Chains A and B, each alone.
Chain A
Amino acid sequence: MSVKVKFFASLADVVGARDATCEYAPSMTVSQVWSVISSDKDLPNGMLCARNQAYCDLEDSVEDGDEVAFFPPATGG
């Protein structure tokens, strides 16, 4: 029962990790995944999130086995 968590770019530097695992709890949201992983720190302003490799909202629900990612706005191209 777990959620795979990924961090990218400047947020990976802030967190000090690129990957983490979060214990899954029923009715968990993406925001709660961040809270568990960060020990209740605020998500830095402007950060975005994805669930199973698609953009999502912080209040979206997650399911056991999901992949959740947190990262800053894209700057490619």
Chain B
Amino acid sequence: MKWLSSRRPRGARLTVEICARGFSPYERLASYERDVLGERCRAIGASASFIGSMRDHNEGEQVLEMTLEHYPGMTEQHLESIGAEAQNKWGLDDFLIVHRTGEVVPGDPIVLVAVWARHRAHAFDACRFIMEDLKSKAPFWKKELTGEGERWVTNNTPGTTEEFEANQ
């Protein structure tokens, strides 16, 4: 990934991780703040994070298990690119994006998007921007296992309350 050196904050790691095994988003956030942000936390006034987990139901059916497939290489490039766009647009101090692959069960964390910025406006907006792009464009696909067998997920739930409620 190419960076404009003048725009990349000193010490920023701007991290994308694809995890084939389970992870704890809260432990990952804590370790990232401790090991990567370190003393930089003193200048950062806001962090925003989103954690998405697997639901035990979808489209009126109980879901027992889910398999997350991705396009290795393209996924990382896409997430790094959208993170860089957010970093440039909102002047983020850092970001961390973690996404699961493989088999997950209800309650398992699937995605963590965390951003660090000077002010909450930038943190909230950047976190939503990354998450909405990830949902619709990062090449991941979900296959659910229900009592009736396997099925591919074909729709994403809307990302705003207005759209979500209009869709019910």
Q: What residue in chain B is nearest A77 (Cβ atoms)?
A: B135
Measured CA separation A72–B136 after assembly (Å): 11
Q: What residue in chain B is nearest A6 (Cβ atoms)?
A: B71
Contact between B71 and A54, CB atoms less than 8 A apart: no
Contact between B152 and A9, CB atoms less than 8 A apart: yes
Measured CA separation A9–B156 after assembly (Å): 15
* Contact indicator per residue, chain B 46-84, by CB within 8 Å of chain A (1) or not (0): 000000100000000000000011110110010000000
Contact between B99 and A76, CB atoms less than 8 A apart: yes
Q: Which of chain B's residues have a CB closer than 8 A to the CB of A74?
A: 135-141, 156
Cβ-neighbour of A75 out of B74, B77, B156 (below 8 A): B156
Chain A CB within 8 A of B8 CB: no
Interface of B is mostly: mixed
Q: How large is the interface on A (under 10, 10 to 19, 20 to 34, 35 or more residues)?
A: 10 to 19
- Known contacts: A6-B71, A8-B69, A69-B71. The answer to whether A75 contacts B155 by CB under 8 A is yes
Q: What residue in chain A is nearest B77 (Cβ atoms)?
A: A53
Q: Which of chain A's residues have a CB closer than 8 A to the CB of B140?
A: 74-77
- Give the number of A-B contacts (CB < 8 Å): 72
Measured CA separation A76–B99 after assembly (Å): 9
Chain A CB within 8 A of B20 CB: no
Q: How many residues of B contact A (CB 8 A)?
A: 27
Measured CA separation A54–B71 after assembly (Å): 11
Measured CB to CB, the closest approach of chain B to A18, in angstroms, equals 10
Q: What residue in chain A is nearest B110 (Cβ atoms)?
A: A77
Measured CB to CB, the closest approach of chain A to B133, in angstroms, equals 10
A–B pairs, 30, beta carbons within 8 Å: A8-B69, A8-B141, A50-B71, A50-B74, A53-B74, A54-B74, A55-B137, A69-B74, A71-B71, A71-B141, A72-B152, A73-B136, A73-B154, A74-B135, A74-B136, A74-B139, A74-B141, A75-B135, A75-B140, A75-B141, A75-B155, A75-B156, A76-B134, A76-B139, A76-B141, A76-B142, A77-B110, A77-B111, A77-B131, A77-B134
* Residues of chain A whose beta carbon lies under 8 Å from any beta carbon of chain B: 6, 8-10, 13, 50, 53-55, 69, 71-77
